[in-house]
Copies of this chain bind each other. A is one copy, B any other.
Amino acid sequence: MRAIPTTPEAPGVTLARGVNRMLVQRGLAAIVEFPTTDGRRMDLCALGPKGEIWCIEVKSSRTDFMSDMKWSDYLPWCDRFFFAVPENFPAEILPPEHGLILADQWGAEVIRMAPHDPVASARRKAVTLRFARMAAERLTRLTDR
């Protein structure tokens, strides 16, 4: 019997899964690929029990980080901003003023907590509503069979 062929997952996807597990353990609820209004997508957006918004950008390698000049666009969309990287990532190239998460496919750890820089109230409302509707739409697509 031949094994069923599977597509290998991109490193970013497996790291995002590990990050999501850590977020669950910390009491945050996250979705991946969260679109902002400018057509870009945060790798992970998470909501804490009191509504705190975390944005986590996953960078699997130096090249992955160097080729993305736009991560700072996400800063006004969240209360805390983190990079999540694998163990072999050269962490010294990351801006030290943001949070740092070490991740693998099984889990993750917050190495440096991101500073709290609250989003504007109207945007918090908009992000929370968009997050809610997007999560529910994805859930409906998965369960309406």
A contact residues vs B (CB 8 Å cutoff): 17, 20-21, 24, 29-31, 46-47, 49, 51, 125, 128-129, 131-140, 142-144
Contact = CB atoms under 8 A, between A and B. Distances in A.
Contact of A128 (B24, B128, B138): B128
A138 B140 CA distance: 11
Contacts of A129: 47, 51, 128, 132
A125 B24 CA distance: 21
B128 A30 contact: no
A20 B132 contact: no
Interface SS, A side:
helix
Given A125-B125, A129-B47, A129-B51, A30 B142 contact: no
A129 B51 CA distance: 6
B29 A133 contact: yes
24 contacts: A20-B144, A24-B137, A24-B140, A29-B132, A29-B133, A29-B136, A29-B140, A30-B136, A31-B136, A47-B132, A47-B136, A51-B125, A125-B125, A125-B128, A128-B128, A128-B132, A129-B132, A135-B135, A135-B138, A135-B139, A138-B139, A139-B142, A142-B142, A142-B143
